[in-house]
Structure 1
Amino acid sequence: MDLKLRGLKALITGGSKGIGYRCAAALVAEGAQVSICARTVADVDAVTAELGVYGAVVDVSNKDALESWVADSAVAMSGIDIVIGNVSALAVSDDEAAWEAGFNTDMMHCVRLVNAAMPWLEASDAASITLVSSVSGREIDFTGPAYGAFKAALVHYAQGLAYKLAPQGIRANTVSPGNTYFKGGIWESIETGNPELFATALAMNPMGRMATPDEIARGVIFVASPASSFTSGTNLVIDGALTKGVQL
């Protein structure tokens, strides 16, 4: 299938590892131009060198830094067609600090990303917004209340964007991954630091394993692409049947 991504310009937050990195690699393979941001200089340098993408070191909870990256990316790529909000604070504790981190990073980084990119999205013939949520936003699990609440809020926010922006031809969707394992990721850390929790979480997966970043990225890229041109306001759950709630 031709995803019709060749020549399009995409932004990805958290594009140096895991799902974000695999999204960047997939977009490049499809002929798109890509700009990523991440917090670590070495990681950004490695990905920009490997994939030939534009990149910058950005703390997405910093409004000015995030907006500057969006503007600089638009100049570097001569536009923006696709926005993928992928960063999470992974604040799973049950305290006020988790609520603050989740609001500033998970929620407001997506709001600011969309707002900053909007002038270029409005000028695009293939504009789409895809925000990475989580199955933790769909049902109660062992993560902290703030994490799930903000992941659910992202789904609601994207649904509102989809309705509001449909007359302009701008699509908005979310993708909700289940447990996703990759080197340097949260589940590798839990596997070594809290093996009991890791075993419990792994046992909850009906397929007997966690997802790979590639498996999630393929879904993200599809809904973001022009090949999915009539998909808007959708929350795509990719969890290997982990969650049990019926999505109506």
Structure 2
Amino acid sequence: MTVSLITGGNKGIGYETARQLLALGHQVYIGARDAGRGAKAAAELGARFVQLDVTDDASVSSALATIDAAEGRLDVLVHNAGVLETALDGPAALRSFDTNAVGIVRVTEAALPLLRKSSHANVVTVSSSAGSFWAVTNPERPEFGLPLALYSASKSAATMLTVHYAKAQPGIRFNAVEPGPTATDMTAAFGIGRPVEQSARVVVGMATLDASGPTGTFQDETGPLPW
């Protein structure tokens, strides 16, 4: 059975990704900062829950230790936890990067020993084309008009981290995805997006790559994106 961990898996794209991976027969661990919400989501889905705050080293270590004790390995890691700050100041910048970029480092470093025990490890970063220089400078793209400097910059960092991990860990596939504009709590203020089922399929597709799959890429559902 494939063992999968999804950070921020108690709602939105993370929750739906968990549901789809469960349907494929995965043993899914939902990582969530809020224990009550995370446990409720896991119970609804038939998944397992680990308390995991990507901004807290002790929380991350404890979550991966729990998975290690129960499973002895990790096959799929989905970096889904994220925040979208609309303010532009120091505290908002720190929150953005701590969750969207530094959190990837915390969780990946804690997970690497377990990922190395897998025969087909896949790491997927839910990134964003809002972090693509090509997209935000292209007047024909919707990202051109999004005033989300901190979200965009932190997602650029998330994609770059993913590429560097792919180079440093050739035995593990690391890929970043743009899941598509999705109607979630995070995007509610913008009134945009499609159903989470469609966007989660993009994540699931990358999470279930076989040994011939790519690594070190940034893609959406149509293929590699310039960035």
Q: Pick from 68, 75, 93: which aligns with 2:87? A: 93
Q: Is 1:232–2:215 an aligned residue pair?
A: yes
**Residue identity (%):** 31
Q: Is this contact kept in 2: 1:91–1:102, CA < 8 A?
A: yes
Unaligned runs of 5+ in 2: 137-144
Shift of 1:93: 1.8
Q: Is this contact kept in 1: 2:179–2:202, CA < 8 A?
A: no
Aligned equivalent of 1:145: 149
> Aligned pair count?
215
Supply the AA of the counterpart residue of 2:37: D
TM-score, normalisation: structure 2 = 0.87
Q: Is this contact kept in 1: 2:124–2:174, CA < 8 A?
A: yes
1:177, 1:8 → 2: CA distance? 22
Which has the higher Rg, Structure 1 or Structure 2? 1
Aligned equivalent of 2:19: 25
Q: Is this contact kept in 1: 2:84–2:96, CA < 8 A?
A: yes
Aligned equivalent of 1:193: none
Post-superposition Cα deviations, 1:34-63, rounded to whole Å, max 9, x if no partner, equal 111113333212222122221133322111
Q: Is this contact kept in 1: 2:179–2:203, CA < 8 A?
A: no
Secondary structure, counterpart of 1:186 in structure 2: coil
Q: Is this contact kept in 2: 1:181–1:187, CA < 8 A?
A: yes
Post-superposition Cα deviations, 1:76-123, rounded to whole Å, max 9, x if no partner, equal 233211111101121232111221011211111111111001011111
Q: Is 1:125–2:127 an aligned residue pair?
A: no
Supply the AA of the counterpart residue of 2:103: H
1:82, 1:123 → 2: CA distance? 11
Aligned equivalent of 1:180: 182
2:147, 2:60 → 1: CA distance? 27
What is the RMSD computed on CA atoms of the aligned residues? 1.9
Q: Is this contact kept in 2: 1:131–1:173, CA < 8 A?
A: yes
Q: Is 1:163–2:156 an aligned residue pair?
A: no
Shift of 1:27: 0.9
Unaligned runs of 5+ in 1: 1-6, 191-196, 203-209, 240-245
Aligned equivalent of 1:214: 197
Aligned equivalent of 2:139: none
1:238, 1:151 → 2: CA distance? 18
Q: Is this contact kept in 2: 1:98–1:147, CA < 8 A?
A: no
Q: Is this contact kept in 1: 2:31–2:52, CA < 8 A?
A: yes
Q: Is 1:247–2:226 an aligned residue pair?
A: yes
